[in-house]
């Protein structure tokens, strides 16, 4: 199908990244077939605070790593085993890669999926020691287990109008929301958030959402 070229943000060593031509994604990770995956044309992507751990040389990230785990895109190709996602869908990609079928995924602990990283539970795109998946600070990327991983926006035109807000859904917003949920935030809570970076601001917005009485939260 598509034979377009691809470019991505490459980690070159401490303090240095470059934009380079990279391989167009395949429905595979090395020898591992990913017929359950899709190829996305990326619409938006973000630089995460945690990318800086690699870029500043604090990790063992290898030279040549394609960075980026915060991905929003449009589906341009579906693998043979994808049932519920279609070419043309606009989707948000959760940064944690998850199979949807292991014990941890079934318990909702998709951050520690057992099937996506041979070294340890849990994986992410474009991240050191997180399974070798190619990152999405690029023009195109492959997303495995598409039926389980992808959040499809139901209205394409509406999504495109707000796409630079919806880009928060891949990591920043749910990270703040998850912090509030795990802290037990609910109506009546008084919440202290240490740090007002993007995730802190998302946590503050989440606390307001979670603080609404249940009778209002459906609206
Ligand atoms: Zn991130
Ligand atoms: Zn899993």
Clarify whether residues 176 and 157 are in a common domain: no
Question: Which pLDDT band, with edges at 50, 70 and 90, does 213 fall under?
Answer: confident
10 Å CB burial of residue 50 (0-12, 13-18, 19+) is middle
Would the pLDDT of 216 be above 70?
no
> Taking 50 as the threshold, does the pLDDT of residue 66 lie above it?
yes
Helical segments of 65-192, H only = 103-106, 146-149, 156-161, 163-166, 172-182
Residues 27 and 134 in one domain: yes
* 152-173: average pLDDT: 97
Characterize 98-126 residue by residue with b for buried, 16 or more Cβ atoms within 10 angstroms of its Cβ, and e for exposed. Answer: bbeebebbeeebbbbbbbbbeeeebbbbb
CA neighbor of 204 nearest in space, from 196, 213, 212, 216: 196
In the predicted model, what is the mean pLDDT of the chain? Answer: 95
C-alpha 39 to ligand 1 mean position (Å): 20
Look up the domain containing 68 and give its range.
6-163
pTM across the whole model? 0.92
| Ligand 2 mean position, distance from CA 115 (Å) | 5
CA of 205 to the centre of ligand 2 (A): 29
Q: Are residues 32 and 123 in the same domain?
A: yes
**Is 1 part of any domain?**
no
Tell me if 27 is assigned to some domain: yes
Which residue carries 């389980």 as its tokens? 148
Q: Rounded to the nearest whole angstrom, what is the distance from the C-alpha of residue 82 to the centroid of ligand 2?
A: 17
Per-residue confidence (pLDDT) for residue 214, from 0 to 100: 73
Span from the CA of 1 to the centroid of ligand 1 (angstroms): 30
The CATH number linked to 125 is 3.90.180.10
Q: Are residues 151 and 177 located together in one domain of the fold?
A: no
In a domain, 33, yes or no: yes
The mean per-residue pLDDT over the stretch 11-37 comes to 96
Are both 90 and 189 inside the same structural domain? no
44 shares its domain with 114: yes
Residues 6+ apart with CB under 8 A from 3: 24
Decide if 215 is inside a domain.
no
- Check whether residue 71 and residue 129 sit in a common domain: yes
In this predicted structure, what is the pLDDT of residue 219?
47
With cut-offs at 50, 70 and 90, classify the pLDDT of residue 180.
Answer: very high
- Residue 193's pLDDT band (cuts 50, 70, 90): very high
How far, in Å, is the centroid of ligand 1 from the Cα of 133?
A: 15
Inter-helix orientation angle 198-210/172-182, to 10° = 50
Residue 34 has pLDDT above 80, yes or no: yes
- Looking at residue 171, its pLDDT comes to 97
CA distances 20 to 61, 139, 211, Å, are: 17, 11, 45
């Amino acid at each position: 199908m598509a034979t377009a070229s691809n470019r991505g943000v490459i980690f070159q060593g401490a303090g240095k990244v470059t934009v380079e031509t990279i391989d167009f994604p395949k429905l595979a990770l090395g020898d591992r077939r990913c017929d359950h995956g899709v190829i996305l044309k990326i619409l938006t992507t973000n630089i995460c605070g945690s990318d800086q751990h690699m870029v500043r040389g604090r990790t063992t990230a290898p030279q040549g790593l394609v960075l980026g785990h915060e991905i929003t895109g449009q589906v341009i190709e579906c693998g043979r085993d994808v049932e519920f996602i279609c070419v043309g869908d606009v989707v948000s990609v959760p940064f944690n890669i998850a199979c949807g079928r292991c014990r941890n995924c079934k318990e909702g602990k998709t951050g520690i999926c057992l099937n996506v990283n041979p070294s340890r539970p849990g994986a992410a795109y474009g991240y050191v020691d997180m399974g070798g998946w190619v990152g999405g600070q690029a023009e195109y990327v492959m997303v495995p287990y598409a039926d389980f991983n992808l959040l499809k926006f139901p209205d394409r035109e509406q999504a495109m109008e707000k796409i630079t807000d919806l880009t928060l859904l891949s990591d920043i917003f749910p990270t703040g929301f998850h912090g509030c949920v795990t802290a037990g935030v609910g109506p009546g809570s008084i919440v202290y958030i240490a740090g007002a970076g993007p995730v802190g601001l998302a946590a503050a917005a989440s606390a307001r959402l979670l603080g609404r009485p249940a009778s209002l939260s459906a609206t």
